[in-house]
Amino acid sequence: MLIEEHLRQRVRRDGGSPLITHYDLGTGSRTELSATTFANWVAKASSYCVEELELDAGDAVALPVLDEHPGHWMSLVWVMALWSTGCHVAPAEDARVVVVGPEALEQPAEWPQTVLACSLHPLGLGFSQPLPAGWVDWAVDVRSQPDQYAGVPPTPDLPAWVEPGRQLDQAALAATAGDPGRRLVRPGEPWPTVRDALVAPLLGGGSAVVVEGEDEAALARVVADERVVVPG
């Protein structure tokens, strides 16, 4: 069973329970996504990839937003949408589309590809300021997409993650160890964060509490309030 099937199964069996809870200790924000809510965002993003971006299975998408914010729920939505459509995460030089975060607006690069910008607003809203010419405010543009994705499912041999020193296809992704618990995730490098915050909970039936920020007292309160398992 591939990971997109695990998500669909999770929605059927326990769609209302939390899948990803994201804390930003710096802003005080807390965003909780049930499996159903997460799947709805993924479906919209998947449809957008196919209908608006005209991406095909096997195509590569670069996610600088994931490099900057590997644990943010919107970054994880993008990763899951790529996997659901048979696309994969890859470096920018190999990608047809680039997805950036709010930091990219400070000194906008001249990407040759289509550029989508994610505000990372805790409620999924768009930007309050204008974007560079040609850039798309993804959170606004994706709203009109359907809550269900009916595209062709991926096959096990399609690439899922490509970076120097690591290449995973859909089959290898599905063979990742699952985690049935409610686990604390402290974001770090993109792949370990995605593995712990998204892949392991989906494959194991668990959930992730992703906490960004260095306030140790606030972190301790989150651990107590959420009753999470802290990695040893």
pLDDT in tens, 3-55: 999 999 999 999 999 999 999 999 999 999 999 999 999 999 999 999 999 99
Q: How far apart, in Å, do the first and last CA atoms of the chain sit?
A: 29
* pLDDT tens digits, 121-148: 988 999 999 999 999 999 999 999 999 9
Q: What is residue 171's predicted lDDT score, i.e. its pLDDT?
A: 98
Q: What is residue 198's predicted lDDT score, i.e. its pLDDT?
A: 99
Burial class (CB in 10 A: 0-12, 13-18, 19+), 227: exposed
Structural domains in the chain?
A: 3-226 (3.40.50.12780)
Q: What is residue 80's predicted lDDT score, i.e. its pLDDT?
A: 99
Q: What is residue 231's predicted lDDT score, i.e. its pLDDT?
A: 87
* pLDDT tens digits, 72-122: 999 999 999 999 999 999 999 889 999 999 999 998 888 888 999 999 998
* Claim: this prediction has a pTM higher than 0.85: yes
Q: How does 182-200 read in b/e, with b if 16+ C-beta sit within 10 Å?
A: bbbbbbeebbebbbbbbbb
Q: State mean pLDDT over 161-187.
A: 97
Half-sphere exposure at residue 126, Cβ-oriented, CA atoms within 13 angstroms: 14
Q: What is residue 165's predicted lDDT score, i.e. its pLDDT?
A: 95
